[in-house]
Amino acid sequence: MIKRFTLVTALFLMVFIASAQQGSPSPYSFFGIGLSKPTGTTESRSMGGLSVYSDSIHLNLQNPAGYAGLKLTTYTIGGSHKAIDLESYAGKEKATNSNLMDYLAVGFPAGKFGFGFGIAPATSVGYELKELNGDLLSKYSGSGGLNKVFLSAGYQFNEYLRIGATANYKFGNIQNKSLFFQDQIQFGTREINRSHFSGFDFKFGAQYQRMISDKLQIIGSADFSPSAKISSKNERQIATVILRNGQEELISDLRRLELPDSKLTLPTHFTLGGGLGKPNKWFAGLEFGSTSSSNFSNRSFDVSGVKYKSASTMALGGFYVPKYNDITNYFNRIVYRAGFRYEETGLNINNKDINEFGISFGVGLPAGRMLSNLNVGFEYGQRGTTSAGLVKETFYNVFISLSLNDLWFQKTKFN
């Protein structure tokens, strides 16, 4: 097992490159099982990540009760691009990352029921770090993450109340690699640790909608994810290597070590939200979420100065439509969205909490028949701090999605 190393000299004196599709261009993905991926659609992320609002033509991937409100079969697919500026006392770096598919899902109504299924990434890991300590050069890199396949069902309990549940099957792998080279010595040491994850977790949700006047509607929502355990199959390789041209690793001796399988505990999470609006015109909502403390650790490195606390999120956002049924003016049918979010991630490094905020904007553009639309969003935000030898990230997210609607199970009449 690799000896522990200090965060200040190793983690944030870095050489940073962007990761591939599954990765995350953030040094904070070094910790635990990586950074959590946003669970909402482009429509939700454009409103600060709100999950409280659902309608009849868009999927709500965050609260399964929303499927009961669907009136049309809905297909949705979303992707994103992120650019990050990283700043520390050691200097500045830039990174980018594109995800061709943040999520792919289908939902359809069936009387009082609504059902949905899809696939989406759950966490991502993607870092490359370097430390030069005297004549010892150390390199650390990681890749991978967890994905989830989900099946959801919602039920219209009565005129005002919907309930729902989601089953997630999470799977994926994470690899951590380290290289150690000493000046004037030809051979170095390489260690690779891989963990392969699989298992189920569940989410339960409820939504309440009621008109309180001729024009005003009040909306409330809640969801709860109990703690769950997923399996982790672990493996390790130790090798003696030579670097050719500074990059290619030539192996002269390779040993595979047996490691016991383990269980990873996913923490409990709940969300409460509420809002007020006029149907098909405007909505404004507020939401709070909390995640119990976890004890994730990096499987390769014993890192000092790191603690995991309970995490929390706060989101504020909404939308406005000038006139949703205007057939003469296209711009009156555009949905304008905006939001703000603040997150205490629960990660504490060198007695500094790693917090995050984001400000988002977006539009929903009518496209084609049956109320289909193209959704585009932008988010500006920051994560971390430059104090205590850490890194501050300034990120710019662009996300885009298609929400396509159709009518299933329609009876055809013949004369």
Specify the pLDDT at position 251: 82
Tokens of 370: 């049956």
Residue among 138, 220, 214 nearest 177 (CA): 138
Specify the pLDDT at position 3: 39
DSSP per-residue letters across 361-392: EEEEEE-SSTT-EEEEEEEEEEEE-SGGG--E
List, in sequence order, every beta strand (DSSP E) within 188-297: 188-211, 217-225, 228-244, 248-258, 262-266, 269-278, 282-291
Specify the pLDDT at position 8: 33
pLDDT by 10s per residue, the chain, length 415: 333 333 333 333 333 333 333 456 788 888 888 888 888 999 999 999 999 999 999 999 999 999 999 999 999 999 999 999 988 887 888 888 888 889 999 999 999 999 999 999 999 998 887 777 888 888 888 889 999 999 999 999 999 999 999 999 999 999 989 888 888 788 888 999 999 999 999 999 999 999 999 999 999 999 999 999 999 999 999 998 887 776 667 887 888 888 888 888 899 999 999 999 999 999 999 999 999 977 665 555 556 678 888 999 999 999 999 998 888 899 999 999 999 999 999 888 888 999 999 999 999 999 876 678 999 999 999 999 888 888 899 999 999 999 998 776 555 444 4
Specify the pLDDT at position 11: 36
Residue among 47, 39, 34 nearest 337 (CA): 47
Beta carbons of 122 and 103 less than 8 angstroms apart:
no
Torsion over CA of 31, 34, 376 and 278, rounded to 10 degrees?
A: -90
DSSP H helices in 243-301: none
